[in-house]
Amino acid sequence: MTTSAYDLPGVATASTVASAELNRRARAVMPGGNSRTAVYSSPYPIYVRYGHGARVVDVDGTERLDFLNNSTALIHGHAHPTIVRAVAEAAARGTSFGMPTETEVAFAEALTARNETFEHVRFTSTGTEAVMMAVQAARAHTLRPKLAKIAGAYHGAYDATAINNDGSGSLITHATLGIPAGVSDNTVIIPFNDPEGALEVLGRHAGELAAILIDPLPWRIGLVPASAEYLAALRGFCDEHDVVLISDEVGSFRIGMGGAIAEFGYAADLTVLGKVIAGGMPIGAVTGRRDVMAVFDPSAGSPPLPHSGSYNANPVSMSAGLASLALLTSDEMDRINGLGADVRDRMRQILADHTPGGWTVNGNGSLFRVLGPNATGADGRPVNAVNLLSRALLRHGVHIGDSGLGCVSTAMEPDDVDAFARAFTAAADDVRACLAQ
Ligand SMILES: Cc1ncc(COP(=O)(O)O)c(C=O)c1O
């Protein structure tokens, strides 16, 4: 049983009555009242009315600093005027067509300019679809069936990657109910940051592997960066056995102008993008080597890998993406990465000063994740300490993920980091009071 902020001493549940009522209605028409597992919170999530800049206002009228930014997608915060204008102007021209648009070409040009390994690009509506298409492209290119993925890493809701994605790090191929054995039989699980262990597993499947899928900064494994030795070992294996190395940067592209491959200094054959590249509109992209991407090319007749989608390269998302990338200058990237480092340092210091210990703060660039100790509540029951902390933060006016995930946006200034630190101190005190000493 977990404790939530709703149970914290002194929390007036009356302050979330409108959310409770919306959740009552939602439960009548959706399983658990929910369409997206990540936004469910017990006993009910807080419903948002609107966001502006660095802040969100809930349906009860409470304003909070938003350090979750839609699971790190909103690198420019909420309703950035330039992005809103781009979206409004694009929508006024028509929201989707059965024809390509100039914005698709312009956005492809802007994105491929960010990293020289992004030779060709193809757009989807979500990161999940982009991962799916990257894996299928690797299979079509190599004519092999198997995919290797890191134990515990999350890559979206696609069958082949929704296997062993719970962050546990177990090497057992455990699939979600609903994923057939044929899929899990073709998914190879490798240990994270263990070059010898990974090579040993990969070696057993060498001739059958189409791709190795990695997230160099996997948030479900605590935003621990992949080591240089590990990345070099995987790259070496791919070169030796003609396997496609896919870097999933749906979350981690935001750490530098050229994404994680540029920051970590390794070469991927395909890179998957999403989230920040469209400033909050639905998006996904597969990019990388021209010869691998050629499997999508329909210009010489039927392509080896036909890829359709009514909303691929949607002009509203493309326009938002152009605006979002233009705002993401190298100065802004440096500025939010500096704020991110400050947030992480301050969290570490506050946790050291205000709690009994056992906490870790990881992250890179503008991203952070807090990991907590195995804790017991004052009533003797086990407690999810990070969940407790995120709930206490809500009480003090800050929103981060229930799992301790968060990020800084370009809408934030040093004052916002100061406000975050004050709330974090108060939340750490609440957590200490709720835990057995
Ligand atoms: C590393 C990674 N890959 C893929 C996805 C899936 O992207 P989307 O939620 O746009 O489907 C996510 C989403 O959080 C992610 O973090």
Could you give the CA distance from residue 386 to residue 392 in angstroms, rounded to a whole number? 10
Over residues 14-31, mean pLDDT = 92
Helices (H), 242-329: 259-264, 290-293, 315-327
Same domain, 58 and 197: no
Residue 13: the pLDDT is 52
What tens digit of pLDDT does each residue of 182-229 get? 999 999 999 999 999 999 999 999 999 999 999 999 999 999 999 999
* 321 C-alpha to ligand 1 centroid (Å): 17
Contacts of 180 (CB under 8 A, 6+ apart): none
135 with 223, same domain: the answer is yes
User: Nearest 5°: CA angle at 230, between 229 and 236?
Assistant: 85
Q: Sign (positive/negative) of CA torsion 336, 408, 274, 91?
A: negative
Q: What distance in Å separates the CA atoms of residue 270 and residue 212, rounded to the nearest whole number?
A: 10
Query: Of 305, 327, 349, which residue constitutes the final position of a domain?
Result: 327
Q: Which of 327, 360, 393 is the last residue of a domain?
A: 327
Q: Give mean pLDDT, residues 51-75.
A: 97
List, for residues 121-154, the tens digit of each pLDDT value. Answer: 999 999 999 999 999 999 999 999 999 999 999 9
pLDDT class for 169, splitting at 50, 70, 90? confident
Atom of ligand 1 nearest to the CA of 38: 14
Instruction: Return the number of other C-beta atoms located less than 10 Å from residue 388's C-beta.
Output: 25
394 C-alpha to ligand 1 centroid (Å): 24
SS3 212: strand
Instruction: Report the pLDDT averaged over residues 53-70.
Output: 96
Total domain count for the chain? 2
Residue 166's pLDDT is 84
**First-to-final CA distance of the chain:** 19
Residue 190 contacts residue 243 (beta carbons within 8 Å): no
Q: What is the pLDDT of residues 86-103, one digit of tens each?
A: 999 999 999 999 999 999
Other CB atoms within 10 A of residue 33 CB = 16
Decide: 251 and 275 in contact? Cβ < 8 Å: yes
More confident residue, 179 or 226: 226
Specify the 3-state DSSP secondary structure of 229: helix
Find the range with the poorest average confidence among 12-16, 190-194, 267-271.
12-16
For residue 126, the ligand 1 atom closest to its alpha carbon is 10
Predicted confidence (pLDDT) per residue in 397-429, tens digit: 999 999 999 999 999 999 999 999 999 999 999
| pLDDT for 167 | 83
323 and 335 co-located in one domain:
no
Spell out which residues line ligand 1, taking CB within 6 angstroms.
71, 126-128, 131, 154-156, 215, 248, 250-251, 274, 284
Measured from the CA of 128, which atom of ligand 1 is nearest? 11
Q: Is the peptide bond before 43 cis (omega within 30 degrees of 0)?
A: yes
Pairing between strand 360-364 and 48-52?
Answer: unpaired
Same domain for 305 and 401, yes or no, is: no
Pairing mode, if any, of strands 367-371 and 405-407?
antiparallel
If asked whether residues 418 and 274 sit together in one domain, one would say no
Buried b (16+ CB within 10 A) or exposed e, 49-68: eebebbbbbbbbebebbbbb
CB 309 within 8 A of CB 124: yes
The CA distance from 185 to 182, in Å, is: 5
Q: What is the CA radius of gyration of the chain?
A: 22
DSSP 76: T
CB 191 within 8 A of CB 171: yes
Q: What is the DSSP letter of 383?
A: E
Asked which of 306, 327, 348 is the last residue of a domain, the reply is 327
Same domain, 96 and 188: yes
Digit-coded pLDDT (tens) for 334-350: 999 999 999 999 999 99
For a mutational test of ligand 1's pocket, the pick from 275, 312, 317, 364, i.e. the residue with the most ligand atoms closer than 8 A to its C-beta, is 275
- Both 104 and 64 in one domain: the answer is no
Same domain, 68 and 85: no
State how far the Cα of 150 lies from the Cα of 302, in Å rounded to an integer. Answer: 34
Secondary structure of 3-67 in the HEC alphabet? CCHHHCCCCCHHHHHHHHHHHHHHHHHCHHHCCCHHHCCCCCCCCEEEEEECEEEECCCCEEEEC
Top mutation candidate among 125, 135, 154 for ligand 1, by most atoms within 8 Å of CB? 154
**Which pLDDT does position 6 carry in this prediction?**
52
By percentage, how much of the chain surpasses pLDDT 90? 84
**Ligand 1 atom nearest to 274, measured from its CA:** 10
Under DSSP, the state recorded for 243 is: P
Tell me the pLDDT band of 12, cut-offs 50, 70 and 90: very low
Residues 70 and 96 in one domain: no
pLDDT of 168 higher than 90: no
User: Do 429 and 353 fall into the same domain?
Assistant: yes
Best residue among 250, 402, 405 to mutate for probing ligand 1's pocket (most ligand atoms within 8 Å of CB) is 250
Query: Shortest CA distance to 285 belongs to which of 38, 118, 165?
Result: 118
> What is the distance between the alpha carbons of residues 384 and 401, in angstroms, rounded to a whole number?
13
155 plus 299 within the same structural domain = yes
CA distance 84 to 128: 25
User: How many A from CA of 155 to the centre of ligand 1?
Assistant: 5
Looking from the CA of residue 249, the nearest atom of ligand 1 is 1
Q: Is the predicted pLDDT of residue 2 greater than 80, yes or no?
A: no
Residue with tokens 């993920």: 401
CA of 299 to the centre of ligand 1 (A): 30
Alpha-carbon gap, residue 393 to 431, rounded angstroms: 10
Question: What is the residue-averaged pLDDT of the chain?
Answer: 94
CA dist 275 and 284 (Å) reads 7
Determine the average pLDDT of the residues in 246-268.
Answer: 97
Structural domain of 355 = 5-75+330-434
Query: Are 212 and 237 spatial neighbours (Cβ–Cβ below 8 Å)?
Result: yes
How much is the average pLDDT of 262-266? 95
Q: What are the backbone dihedrals phi and psi of residue 273, each rounded to the nearest 5 degrees, phi first?
A: -120, 165
Indicate whether 214 and 150 sit together in one domain.
yes
Assign residue 49 the CATH number of its domain.
3.90.1150.10
pLDDT value for 177: 81
Find the CATH number of the domain harbouring 223: 3.40.640.10
Angstrom distances, CA of residue 153 to CA of 217, 224, 251, 411: 9, 11, 12, 29
Cβ pair 172, 189 in contact under 8 A: yes
What's the confidence (pLDDT) of residue 3? 36
The residue contributing the CA closest to ligand 1 atom 2 is 155
| CA–CA gap between residue 263 and residue 287 (Å, rounded) | 17
